[in-house]
């Protein structure tokens, strides 16, 4: 069955079509949830909420552009909405620390290790870091998405980078003494 036909059936609450869509895209969408969540359990909760939202809104898909891209946006927006409701993203100061440069030796540090460090960041920093560094959004876009000032986005990114730099340096020092 073609994707367009599946989408139209999903819009009519066809459970079989929903299962097919789920099976086609679950892996890619779950990896997005892992990126924006503290841990696997939170990622699973976000994933479930995101898919519910996707199926609730699937009738709004206009068959313009990528369906996968549309689903990813819905998933990310669902996750961001949960964090905005928790109001963990609001930070009072807009003082922007200096730009942080992190030197990483690719032979010493794996992508898995880096992703784990990102997951450990406080929510407000992790969200901004992911949106800016991994997804390529501007601070202006992030401000609108998270309902924070552009300066707060810049500040949160700088703090996230600072935390990551410190953790990477500690790790690299521990590896040198082994």
Give 32-67 pLDDT, tens digit per residue: 999 888 889 999 999 999 999 999 999 999 999 999
Q: Which of 3-7, 108-112, 133-137 has the lowest mean pLDDT?
A: 108-112
Query: Could you give the C-alpha distances from 146 to 41, 77, 88, 136, 141, in angstroms and in order?
Result: 23, 9, 10, 15, 9
Determine the Cα–Cα distance for residues 134 and 52; give it in Å rounded to an integer: 25
Whether residues 10 and 50 share a domain: the answer is: yes
Whether residues 66 and 118 share a domain: the answer is: no
Domain of residue 139, residue span: 111-176
Query: Could you give the C-alpha distances from 38 to 143, 152, 153, in angstroms and in order?
Result: 21, 21, 19
Q: What confidence tier does 174 reach under pLDDT thresholds 50, 70, 90?
A: confident
Q: Can you give the pLDDT at residue 99?
A: 53
The backbone region for 23, taken as left when phi is positive above 0, alpha when psi lies in -120 to 50, beta otherwise, is: alpha
Asked, for residue 26, whether it belongs to a domain, the answer is yes
- Average predicted confidence (pLDDT) for the chain: 86
* Domain C-terminal end among 51, 86, 121: 86
Contact 152, 131 (CB under 8 A): no
Whether residues 115 and 51 share a domain: the answer is: no
């Amino acid at each position: 069955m073609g994707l367009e036909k599946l989408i139209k059936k999903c819009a009519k609450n066809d459970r079989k079509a929903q299962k097919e869509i789920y099976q086609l895209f679950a892996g890619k969408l779950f990896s997005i949830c892992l990126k924006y969540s503290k841990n696997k359990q939170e990622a699973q909760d976000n994933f479930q909420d995101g898919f519910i939202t996707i199926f609730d809104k699937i009738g709004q898909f206009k068959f313009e552009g990528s369906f996968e891209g549309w689903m990813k946006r819905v998933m990310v927006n669902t996750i961001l909405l949960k964090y905005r409701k928790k109001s963990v993203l609001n930070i009072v100061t807009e003082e922007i620390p200096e730009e942080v440069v992190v030197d990483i030796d690719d032979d010493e540090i794996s992508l898995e290790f880096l992703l784990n460090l990102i997951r450990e960041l406080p929510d407000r920093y992790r969200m901004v870091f992911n949106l800016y560094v991994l997804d390529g959004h501007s601070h202006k876009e992030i401000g609108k998405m998270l309902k924070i000032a552009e300066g707060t986005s810049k500040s949160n990114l700088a703090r996230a980078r600072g935390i990551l730099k410190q953790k990477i340096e500690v790790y690299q020092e521990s590896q040198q003494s082994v």
